[in-house]
Amino acid sequence: MSASTVLVVDDDEASLEALSMLLEQMGLHTITARSGEAALDVVKHARVDLILLDLRMPGLSGFDVLSRLQGRSRRRVPVVMTTASGDSHDVGEALRLGAVGYILKPVRAEVLRTRIQRHLRLPGADLTAGYVTRDDVRRFSGKVKEGRVTAPPRFHQL
In the three-class reduction of DSSP (H, G, I as helix; E, B as strand; rest coil), residue 106 is classed as coil
Closest CA to 155 of 94, 100, 95, 87: 87
Which DSSP string corresponds to 135-154? HHHHHHHHHHHTTSSPPPHH
Give the integer Cα–Cα distance in Å for 115 and 93. Answer: 19
pLDDT at residue 153, as a whole number: 46
pLDDT (tens digit, 9 = 90+) per residue, 97-145?
A: 889 888 988 888 988 998 888 888 754 434 344 444 555 555 555 544 5
Which domains are present in the chain? 5-157 (3.40.50.2300)
In the three-class reduction of DSSP (H, G, I as helix; E, B as strand; rest coil), residue 110 is classed as helix
Q: Above pLDDT 70, what percent of the chain?
A: 73
Q: Above pLDDT 90, what percent of the chain?
A: 43
Partnered with residue 82 across adjacent β-strands are 54, 103
Global pTM reads: 0.75
